[in-house]
Structure 1
Amino acid sequence: MDKQIEALSEWLKGKSGQTLHIEKKENEDTDIVRFELEEIGERPQDNPVDDYLERALLLRGSGSIVNGEGESVPLPGDTYEIGINELAIGSQSGDRLELTNDRATYALSVEAPQS
């Protein structure tokens, strides 16, 4: 496994059971997701012609996304994908990680528990 992918996978495994704040910037669009991470897996690239089936880390759990009106709506499924083609990890600290792939940039951070 590539060192960047292994580092991301290990960082995510260490955050299992916590809520992640994921900010994804792709083209001129920014998505903000809150995701309660239960476990992670990996999908191999089965069909190199179909971009939607690229190799990816699969975050399993539940979450919501902030829509264009600023409302939080549930994600359509129990999986959030991060493509790992051309993955590069930028800055990293205990509870924050920045990365890029061939499509987008991501900032992942652990949300403080609600009291």
Structure 2
Amino acid sequence: MDKQIQALTEWLNGKAGQTLKIEKKENEDTDVVHFELEEIGERPQDNPVDDYLERALLLRGAGSILNADGEKVPVPGDSYEIVLNDLEIGSRSEDRLELKNDRAAYILTVA
């Protein structure tokens, strides 16, 4: 397993049973999700030729996102995914982790 992915997996496993605040910045847009992490899993890349489903970590649990009106709405399904392509971990502490991939930048904090 890639060292970056292993470090992310270990950090997340240590947060199981806790609520994470996930700030995702993508294309000049920022989403904020509060997610009660139960466990993590991994989705392998479905088709290496066309990248239809990229390899991702799946955070399983329940969460909510703030919509444009400032209202909390449930995250669809029971998972949140972080694509692992070109994953880089930035600063890291016990309660905060910064990372980015080829799509977005994330800041994960224990809420």
With normalisation by structure 1, the TM-score equals: 0.93
Residue 31 of structure 1: CA displacement? 0.4
Q: What is the match of residue 20 of structure 1?
A: 20
1:72 aligns with 2:59: no
Give the distance between the partners of 2:76 and 2:98, measured in 1 at CA. 25
The one-character-per-residue Cα deviations of 1:67-101 (angstroms, maximum 9, x if unpaired) are 11111100111000000000000000110000000
Give the distance between the partners of 2:76 and 2:7, measured in 1 at CA. 28
The 5 A counterparts of 1:31-110 are 31-48=31-48, 49-51=50-52, 53-110=53-110
Contact 2:45-2:51 within 8 A present in 1 as well: no
Give the distance between the partners of 1:16 and 1:77, measured in 2 at CA. 18
SS in 1 for 2:25: strand
Gaps of at least 5 residues in structure 1 are none
Runs of 4 or more consecutive aligned structure 1 residues displaced over 6 Å after TM superposition:
none
Q: What is the match of residue 30 of structure 1?
A: 30
Q: Taking every aligned residue pair, what percent have the same amino acid on both sides?
A: 75
Root-mean-square deviation over aligned CA pairs: 0.7
Give the distance between the partners of 1:66 and 1:32, measured in 2 at CA. 6
